[in-house]
Structure 1
Amino acid sequence: MIILPQFNFKKIFFIILIEQQAYSFKKEKFCVIIPTYNNASKIEAVVEGVLQQTRNIIIVNDGSTDSTASILEQYKNITIVSYPKNRGKGFALKTGFNKALEAGFEYAITIDSDGQHNAGEIPNFVAAHKQNKDALIIGVRKTIEGNVPRKNSFANRFSNFWFLVITGIKLDDTQSGYRLYPINKLQHIKLRTSRYEFELEVMVKASWKNIPIESIPIPVIYPPGNKRITHFRPFIDFFRIGLLNSWLVFFSLTFYRPFAFIKKLNGKNIGEFFNKNIIQTKDSNSKIVLSIMLGVFMGILPIWGYQLITAIALAYLFKLNKLIVGVAANISITPMIPVIIYLSYVTGGIAMGNNITGIPINSGYNTDLLTSNTEQYLIGSIVLATFAAIFFGLFFYVLLLIIRKRKS
């Protein structure tokens, strides 16, 4: 009697599938980065889950003081980076990115080591990547088990709001750590933060470099409170994120948004904007003119960094055309700042009866001259803003009367 060998075809098929996925990962230059800090109870299960998808894994042990290091010793064929002192999640991610780039990878999927993410979602990130290979893809968390901690929910909504303000992009989960990064596109971007706020900074600066920000839904499991592992420090980390938001908002409104606006301008879209939002709008001539005047006035007023946001707030208050106000406030775009400061200083000299002959053109942004004549500069700014608002108001009022009369 011949005894035939027993085959576990299901197991064989599973092994072949894993090998195919591993080959695809290597061919497409993908890797998975797992930053970890004191997650000894979860790290092994997370690594085993990722190993079912790929062997291209980089684990960054961010100064863990528990048994994480000894647990990771069993993985001889995985790249493990360790250092003795905890440096923060952002530092761990940047370390992982650099290691991945050194190894020739161009894309990195990051997954948290606390067991909340399902490694089985990795193929979905790869599939989304194939639709847009330049995109930074965020896994938007959809709870399937447990309740979202209240502090996490509030912090996420807060972060989502400011991300929208800074970039103009609506994203439902800006704090998810399950992501796909095009690290080949990010390597030349200066990223300065090193802790939880890093994940916000990298998204904002990627969007400023015209890297698309996209998202896919992912499931997430939140264990009960007594079993939940988190190293998020509500006060300190929330404060750090708040500081970063303040800086990014200032930079966005002062530099990025105005330059982006100018970059998109050409004869065709200027004409389309003027025709659609000024000539054809249902707003009255007086409302349009007042909107222009408010925008110009606020754009020159010396509250640098807050001109646009203040102008929009006043437009809401006085029920003016917010779009026109915002566009008019961009009179203070960065290339115009030295000119505005210089004219403000000269105008202040005229208003105060001071001798302005012999003032060089670069005096407008000579900080020593301005600090010693602050009163002259401030008075000049207000006077210049007022006269500029009146001038542009009268100009557009006459223009509207002529053009709208012809149209009718």
Structure 2
Amino acid sequence: MSRKALIALPVFNEERHVVDVLTEVRKYAEEILVIDDGSSDRTPELLEALSGIIVITHPENRGYGAALKSAFDFAVAHQDEYDLLITIDCDGQHEPALLPELVQQMREDAKVDILSGSRYLKSYDGASIPPEDRRQINVAVTRRINEQLGFQITDAFCGLKAYRTECLSKFNVTDLGYAMPLQLWVQAAAHEMKIVEFPVPLVYLEEERSFGGSLDDAIKRKAYYDEVLDREMQAAGLACCATECCDDRTDSFCE
């Protein structure tokens, strides 16, 4: 029996989007996993009313990275059933219609370990304009990752990704927040994984969304990301301070 692609959606207080997004995802998904990361709104009730999906519930909110880690763990535990794990956010900013293309590309090129969505690889008509602080941080962090890890990516933070299931057990996820994807870049480099980007439209529906706590401050958020990268690179024997790898001294986040 051939294995399936598992589509995983991390969810936290998404009562405004979850039904519409899952309705669209159903049209293209072979199997759906939702990780409800301790939602306190009507999200659990709405999920309970939906059939044909697998739901993992965190009793309390643990973080974006924690939700993705649960998806990784589930896919690894059932890798005899799933050859691919596709992650897609549930805030309406990713297009479920792209899912079949992601799956097809991964199955056609067995050498690709991670197919990572990029909102900056291609220009689309009607694309959103990202909040300036998010754009600057993404540019700075993406540049650092490329310089230190030898990648040629254009978007360090896109949540739409396809992973080969066999690769997931190689990741050691310890950051349970928004910097978790940065851990993955470093660990992917350490394991010499092949990364390819996939163009996706740039969509921001709710620019006022909060990261939570001190991370709503852009300077503190960038410092947090650099701290995670420093720690991961040191653990992988790739130690390099963020300021040592910043050539553009005009970048406000590299002062």
TM-score (norm 1): 0.53
| Residues in 1 aligned to 2:136 and 2:114: alpha-carbon distance in whole angstroms | 24
- Structure 2 residues without counterparts, runs of 5 or longer: 247-255
The one of 172, 183, 188 equivalent to 2:154 is 172
* Structure 1 position 241 matched with structure 2 position 225: yes
| Residues in 1 aligned to 2:197 and 2:143: alpha-carbon distance in whole angstroms | 16
Mark the CA change 1:28 to 1:105 in structure 2 (over 3 Å): closer, same or farther: closer
Q: Which residue of 2 aligns with 1:347?
A: none
Mark the CA change 1:147 to 1:75 in structure 2 (over 3 Å): closer, same or farther: same
| Residues in 1 aligned to 2:57 and 2:101: alpha-carbon distance in whole angstroms | 29
Larger helix proportion of the pair? 1
Mark the CA change 1:153 to 1:27 in structure 2 (over 3 Å): closer, same or farther: same
Q: Secondary structure at the match of 1:207?
A: helix
| Residues in 2 aligned to 1:200 and 1:111: alpha-carbon distance in whole angstroms | 17
Match of 2:27, as an amino acid?
Q
TM-score (norm 2): 0.82
The one of 201, 209, 227 equivalent to 1:219 is 201
* CA displacement 1:136-167 (0-9 Å, x = unmatched): 01111156433211121012112101211331
1:230 deviates by: 4.5
Q: Secondary structure at the match of 1:192?
A: coil
Give aligned-pair identity as a percent: 22
Say how many residue pairs are matched. 234
Structure exhibiting the larger radius of gyration computed from Cα positions: 1
Q: Which residue of 1 aligns with 2:134?
A: 152
Please give the root-mean-square deviation of Cα atoms over the aligned residues, in Å. 2.5
| Residues in 2 aligned to 1:238 and 1:36: alpha-carbon distance in whole angstroms | 24
Q: Which residue of 1 aligns with 2:17?
A: 42
Mark the CA change 1:230 to 1:114 in structure 2 (over 3 Å): closer, same or farther: farther
Q: Secondary structure at the match of 2:157?
A: coil
Mark the CA change 1:76 to 1:206 in structure 2 (over 3 Å): closer, same or farther: same
1:196 deviates by: 0.9
Match of 1:155, as an amino acid?
I
* Structure 1 position 97 matched with structure 2 position 79: no
Q: Which residue of 1 aligns with 2:103?
A: 126
The one of 65, 74, 81 equivalent to 2:40 is 65
* CA displacement 1:256-314 (0-9 Å, x = unmatched): 5xxxxxxxxxxxxxxxxxxxxxxxxxxxxxxxxxxxxxxxxxxxxxxxx569x97x99x
- Structure 2 counterparts to residues 346-365 of structure 1, below 5 A: none
Mark the CA change 1:237 to 1:70 in structure 2 (over 3 Å): closer, same or farther: farther
Mark the CA change 1:196 to 1:224 in structure 2 (over 3 Å): closer, same or farther: closer
- Structure 1 residues without counterparts, runs of 5 or longer: 1-25, 257-304, 314-408
| Residues in 2 aligned to 1:148 and 1:189: alpha-carbon distance in whole angstroms | 30
Larger strand proportion of the pair? 2
Q: 2:92 touches 2:205 (CA, 8 Å); kept in 1?
A: no
Greater relative contact order (Cα 8 A, min sep 6): structure 1 or 2? Answer: 2
Q: Which residue of 1 aligns with 2:166?
A: 184
1:51 deviates by: 0.1
Mark the CA change 1:113 to 1:66 in structure 2 (over 3 Å): closer, same or farther: same
